[in-house]
Amino acid sequence: MALNQEQQGRLLRHLNGELSSGETTDLNQLLKENAEARSFLRGVAEQAVVVADVERLAQQREPAKVVRPVFNPVKWAVAATIILILAGSFLFSFQSADRGLRAEVVATHGPNQHLASDGVTLPALMPGVMLKIGDKLRTLSSRSWVNLKLNDGSHVILSGRSSMRLIHDENHRAFLLRYGNLWATINTPEGVRPVSILTETARLKTTNAQFDVETKFEEISVINVNKGSVSTERLSDASQVDVGADQQTIITMSQRKALTALRQPEPVNYWNCGMLSCPEAVHGRWLKSNEENDVRLRAMPLLIGENKTIHATNFSVRSSGSPPVMIEKGSRFSIRLTSKTTDPLYIGITTKKRRGGFFGKYTEKLEGDLLGQAGETRKINISISDFAPLDKSLSSSPVGTELTDIWVVSQMESAELEVHHVEFLPREAH
């Protein structure tokens, strides 16, 4: 913001030590909020030092004169030096807080896309890359995730098919979650700005919390808080509610219901997607029913890299309105699907820690006799013990974690993959 004459005059009076304590307090606030003020102060200080040097050299060549000038460059030079030291300390503190607007990539898996603040597409994110204000990242498939570390040690994880941008905010370290899944563990020390997450329906703010968010464009935002507290605001009417540990809230654009925080329900060991009853929990293209299947969800093409496309469906536990679903030893999936080829299919799951953050992803390859004849609708049962971790750092088994979503993928467009039913079942009784 440009300075007016009154503000410039106040800065000059400050250099001469002519401000009251109240005026000094106001000036310090101006320096904190206005980059132009800090730049002006540095410029005056540098000029004062130059003038002082010129006068010193002149005095070495000429006899001393008894003069009382209105402007004393030596005094200004000393004051300016002090101001520069103070301003430097202030700017260091100010910039330390601002460094939270940069995020370091510490781990990635699966395809992703990095768009710079000027709109240029950059190479895929790798560990060590620093993201700054205006940068956008996208995770391109259900198996993808990117782990970001903020300067205070906090972590933000983007998972599945998601899109997020680092945005400017004077009071917060802010992220815009356009769609997808975000997991955050925030521990903000004193003097560092809080973290803010903006979705299409909500604004979230916190200094210390472990929470996750799932948002579907303009439809819904589901917020689960496991530790700490998150302040939430519904954008459609500015209503607010604080969501504490072990609580959740669901925010839509509708104002018919009061915004409330409810206790997270106890976990269950069974889940039926109920595809027609909760379409907001499903990713795919709906087809008209036929003689064989009332429910037909066609896998949609996803571009996951240069000249590389997959065809995927996805089913979200959280967006379906289900309680948390616990994965137990002996748990299994029952899926009805149709594929017009005998090419392999892949089924995967995302898991989270019990009442905690992101845990990891597991997958299983379906092929051979398991798929049956091409074009034939097939019911497939898969044990949780058949799933393998996508990352070597993960436990070999997801048992003991919570299920957050399921995906079914074909690499071939000719498969015309359709999913008709998805169910998660407890272990069979013997």
Give pLDDT, residue 395: 94
Same domain flag for 108 and 247: yes
Same domain flag for 203 and 330: no
Same domain flag for 300 and 203: no
- Domain contains 199: yes
pLDDT average per 10 residues of sequence, the chain (430 residues): 66 67 67 67 56 48 46 51 47 43 92 93 93 96 96 95 95 96 95 95 97 86 96 96 97 93 96 89 94 95 91 94 95 97 96 94 94 93 96 93 97 97 86
| 13, 15, 17, 22: CA torsion to nearest 10 | 70
Cα distance between residue 430 and residue 415, in whole Å: 37
Q: How far is CA 295 from CA 275, 280, 362, 422, in A?
A: 8, 15, 26, 11
Give pLDDT, residue 144: 97
Tokens (6 digits) for 102: 């940069």
Tokens (6 digits) for 181: 């899944």
Place of tokens 């769609």: 179
Residues sharing a CB contact under 8 Å with residue 86, sequence separation 6 or more, in sequence order: none
- Domain contains 71: yes
Give pLDDT, residue 282: 93
User: Of 211, 238, 263, at which residue does a domain stop?
Assistant: 263
- Domain contains 120: yes
Same domain flag for 214 and 150: yes
User: Of 99, 120, 143, at which residue does a domain stop?
Assistant: 99
- Domain contains 153: yes
What are the start-end ranges of the H helices in 168-292? none
Same domain flag for 87 and 168: no
What own/partner pairs with CB < 8 Å and gap ≥ 24 does 306-312 have? 308/111, 309/413, 310/141, 310/409, 310/410, 310/411, 311/409, 311/410, 311/411, 311/412, 311/413, 311/415, 311/417, 312/141, 312/142, 312/283, 312/284, 312/407, 312/408, 312/409, 312/410
- Domain contains 276: yes
Give pLDDT, residue 86: 47
Give pLDDT, residue 183: 97
| Tally of structural domains, the chain | 3
Predicted TM-score (pTM) of the model is 0.75
Give pLDDT, residue 45: 56
State pLDDT tens for residues 176-234: 999 999 999 999 998 899 999 999 999 999 999 999 999 986 678 999 999 999 999 99
60's enclosing H/E stretch is: helix 35-61
Give pLDDT, residue 398: 97
Nearest to 188, CA basis, from 151, 230, 134: 151
Residues of the domain holding 167: 102-263
Same domain flag for 244 and 117: yes
| Domain containing residue 210: CATH number | 2.60.120.1440
Give pLDDT, residue 429: 62
What are the start-end ranges of the H helices in 225-291? none
Cα distance between residue 305 and residue 302, in whole Å: 9
Same domain flag for 364 and 376: yes
- Domain contains 196: yes
Give pLDDT, residue 427: 86
Same domain flag for 153 and 193: yes
- Domain contains 128: yes
Same domain flag for 107 and 92: no
Same domain flag for 95 and 111: no
Give pLDDT, residue 71: 47
Same domain flag for 72 and 132: no
- Domain contains 382: yes
User: Of 263, 281, 308, at which residue does a domain stop?
Assistant: 263
Give pLDDT, residue 17: 65
Give pLDDT, residue 39: 65
| Domain containing residue 364: CATH number | 2.60.120
Give pLDDT, residue 219: 76
Same domain flag for 148 and 72: no
Tokens (6 digits) for 199: 């979705």
How would you class 29 by CB atoms within 10 Å of its CB: exposed for 0-12, middle for 13-18, buried for 19 or more? Answer: exposed
